[in-house]
Amino acid sequence: MTMQRTFSIIKPDAFAKGAIGDILRMIEASGLKIIATKTLRMTKSQAEGFYAVHKERSFFGELVTFMSSGPVVVSVLEGDNAVLRYRDLMGPTDSTKAAPNTIRGTHGTNIERNAVHGSDSPENAVIEINYFFPESELRALLG
Ligand code: CMP
């Protein structure tokens, strides 16, 4: 057993099309536990900071504009091997290549508008969770 946490964003495209409920249901049905969740709208600078590793990529500007274009749902997920399990549940980055039973296959549109984000490693999960859920906030919530 590797009990782990991972970080999830339900992106503005999924929020706008009314897919929040179904995506949270798919997460819970997979056996991952949603231990914290909230709705927010990222500022451009918050999105730039979150995706700083991609800042040299050609799609960075578009990505920041997209991620700050509307509300998102950020969550902390917990479970055995949560990072990999959530990545499997999401499917590949490019929604057009994702299997129909994955979140991106069901709710994504293309490589940018891909419905969800999930951490790519346990180390990045810690960084990403801290970015949106300060230690004190999680402690107050979870005890
Ligand atoms: P995410 O898992 O949130 O991590 C980085 C995001 O950048 C990715 O999902 C996509 O939304 C976006 N992305 C990755 N590659 C491309 C691309 N080639 N063109 C546009 N957006 C991309």
What total number of domains does the chain contain? 1
**pLDDT in the model for residue 56:** 98
* pLDDT for position 51: 98
Q: In the chain, pLDDT over 70 holds for what percent of residues?
A: 99
Q: Which helix (H) or strand (E) holds 14?
A: helix 12-16
H/E stretch holding 8 reads strand 3-10
Q: How many angstroms does the Cα of residue 136 sit away from the middle of ligand 1? A: 30
In 3-state terms, what secondary structure has residue 33? strand
Ligand 1 center–CA 116 separation, angstroms: 10
Helix axes 20-29, 82-90, angle to 10 degrees: 130
Q: Does 131 contact ligand 1 (Cβ within 6 A)?
A: no
Average per-residue pLDDT for the chain: 97
Greater confidence, 35 or 1? 35
Give the model confidence (pLDDT) of 39-69 as tens digits: 999 999 999 999 999 999 999 999 999 999 9
Task: Write the Ramachandran bin of 31: left for phi over 0, alpha for psi from -120 to 50, otherwise beta.
Answer: left
Choosing from 27, 117, 132, 133, the catalytic residue is 117
Global confidence as pTM:
0.98
Q: Which domain holds residue 92?
A: 3-142
Residue 1: pLDDT over 90: no
CB-based contact 50:104 (threshold 8 Å) = no
Model pLDDT for residues 8-38, shown as the tens digit of each residue: 999 999 999 999 999 999 999 999 999 999 9
Q: What is the CATH number of the domain that holds 95?
A: 3.30.70.141
